[in-house]
Amino acid sequence: MKYEANWESIDSRPIPKWFDEAKFGIMLHWGVYSVPAWAPKGTYSEWYWASMGNKDGDTWKYHVKNYGENFKYQDFAHLFKAELYDPDEWAEIFKQSGARYVVPTSKHHDGFCLWQSPYSWNWNSVDIGPHRDLLGDLAKAVRNKGLMMGFYYSLYEWYRPLFMANPERYALEHMIPQMKDVITRYEPSILFTDGEWDHPSETWHSCEFLAWLFNEASCKDEIVINDRWGKETRSQHGGYFTTEYGQVGWGKDLGMARKWEECRGIGASFGYNRNESISEYAKTGDIIHLLIGIVSKGGNLELNVGPTADGRIPVIMQERLLEIGDWLKVNGEAIYGTHSWREITDGELVCYTAKDKAVYAISKKFPERELILSAPKPGRDVSVTMLGKETPLKWKYEDGKFIIEVPLMSVEEVPSRHAYVFKLNGVE
């Protein structure tokens, strides 16, 4: 099918099946802002350069105190060296986390590129700082682990003179050629755009670019796009719809009309923020519960990691990822490749997913001796098991309740922590 440069045609493209089945991915915010790695608690450290513009704000005060008022944001680029960066180590952590795709920032709002973009001379990771193709090295390592690789790309750049003077010329002469370059070089499976909100998609020439992407790019059959293509497009146009820390674009009710994805950091910031303490980091159980709830509603979770300027994934983030992976090793059957069931929840503690002929009741709390469910109704040849345990469980149906008998188990015998999955075969 040939796609035309209008939203009706672009929106008609089916979202590739692999993305819906993947359920869990990793986003990475890494760049020049990882050098100061600072923001007021609860805010985004990757906005450091823009925040410096508020001379009454905390970021400017911090900057003057630690670097001096004559130290420009651009001066941080020489200090962004990534000397400890090991993309193979990163890729192994992501694989062990149970994530199925990885989406690093190819370029954030400061315009700094993690590959040698000819459109950003001396403002990319090969010409300055690490002197290395950070993006290409990670793409190779991630794919070697069997994961899908995508990129985040900011449409706008805060202080590029052409953008400030003429956004449409910027889109035609800089943004679109640069996007075509990164797509052609690395053939990503995801393109997560951002920074679209100042102008309508017509100014960005988004439909023209997407028609090229879906008709001519070498990755056209596999690539997935999001909904951030103009100030009118979130939750309206594009590919999958996006939420961010639970917030839906421009206050719209997302519902379940289209495939969607929640992106958020393990902490309160996407970029690494040295000002965050342990209280700002989500606990493993909370992240797992978030994943369960999102998947039960038909969504994906893209969990962000903020590496340090020298190329390390902070240990607390590694711990969270590996603990999520431990849970998915036991319970991934109830997550990967599933879809929403006719009921999403059963009370406050149970979420449902479904796949093939099985229904999965996922309890966020260990149910002690019985798990009492209201939604399932027994059909023929009903069987119940707990993922991670082989022995079939006893059950009964009384007074409209499906009651599963949970055997006594020691702490060592419980197959996982944080949430517990009961697989129901033969229910209506």
Q: Assign domain 7-334 to a CATH class.
A: alpha beta
pLDDT digits (tens, 9 = 90+) for 131-165: 999 999 999 999 999 999 999 999 999 999 999 99
Closest to 145 (Cα-Cα) out of 199, 100, 190:
100
Domain ranges of the chain: 7-334, 345-427
Distances (CA, A) of 296 to 68, 99, 343, 402, 421: 50, 17, 9, 20, 13
Cα separation of the two ends of the chain: 38
- Where do we find the tokens 């100030």? 231
pLDDT digits (tens, 9 = 90+) for 87-114: 999 999 999 999 999 999 999 999 999 9
For the chain, what is the mean pLDDT?
Answer: 96
pTM: predicted TM-score of the whole model, two decimal places: 0.96
Segments of the chain with pLDDT less than 70: 248-257
**Model pLDDT, residue 216:** 98
**Model pLDDT, residue 412:** 94
Q: Are 75 and 63 in contact (CB under 8 A)?
A: no
CATH code of 345-427, in short, is: 2.60.40.1180
Q: Are 150 and 94 in contact (CB under 8 A)?
A: no
Q: Is 146 helix (H, G, I), strand (E, B) or coil?
A: coil
Indicate the pairing of strand 420-427 with strand 358-363.
antiparallel
Closest to 205 (Cα-Cα) out of 239, 179, 224:
179
